[in-house]
Amino acid sequence: MDDTLPLSNKPRRSSIRDFLNEDIREDLLLECELLLLSFATGIQDAAAWPDYSCFASNQTGNTLFLAIGVAGLTNNAYSFPNIGISLSLFVAGGFTMGQLGNYIGVRRRLWLLISNFIQTALIFTAVAIQYSFPIRRDGPAALAVIACLAFASGGQVAMSRSLKITEITTAMATAAFIDVVVDPCLGKLKNRLRNRRVMFLIMLTAGCFVGAFAQREISSTFPILLCAIGKALVSLAFLFNRPMAVRDLEGLKE
């Protein structure tokens, strides 16, 4: 009896293993997942700046403020220590999650689930810290929140860039604005790349507005919670992505 149990479970286990090891295909569902992450990023940065005077994802702004701080042109408009933590943890998150993705497989369903689960857990950790301690711009609690948000953001951008859907970065808007207006096929009815960029900008901007108004009307913690919920929904959605076709896999190998 005992010998038959592993045999009866083997097909099911193999099926689950195969499912998790599938490389997911580039399709509308994957685009929607990245757009939802873009929306969550907008919410997060809109909530981080008023409380901590730094960005969790927008590292262009942080780099500028870092240079101003190093030059001694400091003022109360931003927090030099918070910016340093955000920038360094963002890079650390991108490096760690990006290299792990390269090793495991950037399109493998298992890796996408693990990566997004880690990011989501970090955002929920930031929510728990904000809920447990008074929200102040400076201090250990503030640095812990920023570290969680920035590391998760770096991992998210590394994940999205590795998927090679470069029109949806999930975080940086500057290049997307220019790519839209210089597109030689801007006026064409069917233009998937333009549509991706435009939808990315819409979702990121909408997230910024939602985060700003949620912070003003409800609390500082609520928009971070919304961001965590959005990322959790994407984690769940990765279970429904279709696998790559054989011809797509052969194209990647080439």
DSSP 139-167: SHHHHHHHHHHHHHHHHHHHHHHHTT-TT
Task: Report the mean per-residue pLDDT for the chain.
Answer: 87
pLDDT of residue 37: 95
pLDDT of residue 1: 46
Query: What is the arithmetic mean of pLDDT over 90-118?
Result: 95
Partner residues linked to 243 by β-bridges:
24
Q: Has residue 115 got a pLDDT over 90? A: yes
Q: What angle do CA 24, 25, 31 make, to 5 degrees?
A: 105
Q: Has residue 192 got a pLDDT over 60? A: yes
pLDDT above 90 covers a percentage of the chain that reads: 58
Highest mean pLDDT among 6-10, 52-56, 64-68, 192-196: 192-196
Which CATH number describes the domain made up of 24-249?
1.20.1250
Cα dihedral sign, 155-161-42-91: positive
